[in-house]
Structures are given as structure tokens and as C-alpha cells.
Amino acid sequence: RVADTYLKNPQQVQVNRTEMVPTTIQQLFYVTHEANKPDVLCKLIDSVDDFYGLIFCQTKALVADLTSHLMDRGYRVDSLHGDKTQSARELTMKAFRERKVKILICTDVAARGLDVKDVTHVMNYSIPRELDSYVHRIGRTARCGKSGVAMSLISPRQRGMIGQIERLTKTVLEEGAIPTRRELGAKKVGSFLSKFQEQEHFTRAVESMGEEWTEAAWDERPR
């Protein structure tokens, strides 16, 4: 009988772990102390031209605290966790898909099956206790052949987990440099200047500025 055949000769199926993480995902990690994570997170978001992504936390309480923190700082953010009703989740996902919300902070439970096009970044604010969840999380970006970025915030004592993740995924994670306030300020000024230079009366306006502004405006002008 067929049943007896399979009981006596069981077949084993194994997923090829070399293909667990698409090569189109750039994996970065940033070392910082737990108390500095909210500030570092904001810096990383601000360093990206158009951040549209997911931030994973380990607990519902942390999701709530971080959502409140980012809202207070003016980010377009919402949350997903197990305490939200189905209707509330649907409203949140609708706003996220329509990009009325650009940042979604969630727990692993709420993110199961989450499929949104064009997510640019996935942030591990907390490294998952079960490392297999790391693969699931970062797989929310770089879908349909597109590229994406996965960032992880780790404390100095968690450095050893990077090696564990690399062995699990058979990939290499790159240590990133946390941007400084000076670098972020220069980025904002550069963005402002590029819009300013597109104006019809750019040259006349530059002539009325002080010497420092004049030099910056001309130095940043596209050649």
C-alpha cells in the first residue's frame, strides 16, 4: 500500500538556504547603545531620500513607544501589532499602501503575510529572538526583482549575533556608519539649494545674498 511505502521509505525535503536572502537586498548593521536607538533611527531615516519602509520591534510596548516618538518628531508613521482589530489593521495598511503613511512600525505577529510593493527599507530596531524571523522580516523588501535595504540596530554585546545571521543566511552583513548631524544638515541644505537653483530668478537672488550663501549656492550648482 502507498501509506506503508512512505512510512518505510520517508522522503526528506530541505530548503536551499543559500537562496534564503535575495542578492538584491543590501544588509547593513549599526552598533549603538540601547538608549541611543531612537536618535540613531531618526538619523538613518533622514539619511535616505525617500524612506518607505517597515520597522520591526520585539514587543507591542516598544512598537507603541517608538510610534509615539516618531509621531512627535513629525514623521508619517503608524503601527501594526496583535492588539489592533482587523478593521484597524486594514485602515493602517490602506494608508501605508497609498503612502499616506511612509513608516510602519510592527511586531512579527502583525507582519506575517504582509505584502506591499516597493518597500525600500526594512529596519530591525530589535534583533528577533528567533533568527529565522530575520529572514522573514527583510524579505518584505526587494520584491519582484527590485532592490532593497535591510538595516539592523544592535548593541555592542549583540555583535556575536551578526555572525550567527551570516551563517544562517550564508550572506555577509556590512557595518554601516551612523550619519552625523553635520552630514544630515549638509544633505538638507543641498536639497534646499537644488530646488532653489531651479527657480527662474536664481542668479538675481544669489547676488543679494551674503558671501557664504553665494559660495554655497554656486558650489552646489549642477555642472
**Tens of pLDDT, residues 55-76:** 999 999 999 999 999 999 999 9
Residue linked to cell 554656486: 218
Q: What is the rounded end-to-end Cα distance, in angstroms, of the chain?
A: 78
Please report the pLDDT score of residue 189 as a whole number.
76
Whether 28 shows a pLDDT value over 80: the answer reads: yes
Is 123 within 8 Å of 56 (Cβ atoms)? yes
Chain mean position to CA 6: 45
pLDDT band for position 133 (cuts 50, 70, 90): very high
Please report the pLDDT score of residue 13 as a whole number.
41
Please report the pLDDT score of residue 15 as a whole number.
44
User: Taking the CA atoms of the chain, what radius of gyration do you get in angstroms?
Assistant: 22
Q: Name every residue whose Cβ is closer than 8 Å to that of residue 123 and which is 6 or more positions away in sequence.
A: 41, 44, 53, 54, 55, 56, 150, 151, 152, 153
The pair phi, psi for residue 216, each rounded to 5°, is: -65, -40
Is 173 within 8 Å of 165 (Cβ atoms)? yes
More confident residue, 15 or 134: 134
Per-residue buried b or exposed e for 166-191, using 16+ beta carbons within 10 Å of the residue's own CB: eeebebebeebeebeeeeeeeeeeee
Please report the pLDDT score of residue 2 as a whole number.
45
Q: What is the mean pLDDT of residues 75-103?
A: 95
Q: What is the mean pLDDT of residues 8-30?
A: 69
More confident residue, 17 or 111: 111
Please provide the average confidence, as pLDDT, over all residues in the chain. 84
Angle between helices 37-46 and 181-197 (to 10 degrees): 20
pLDDT band for position 11 (cuts 50, 70, 90): low
Whether 152 shows a pLDDT value over 70: the answer reads: yes
Is 11 within 8 Å of 161 (Cβ atoms)? no
Q: Which residue, 55, 111, 56, is CA-closest to 82?
A: 111
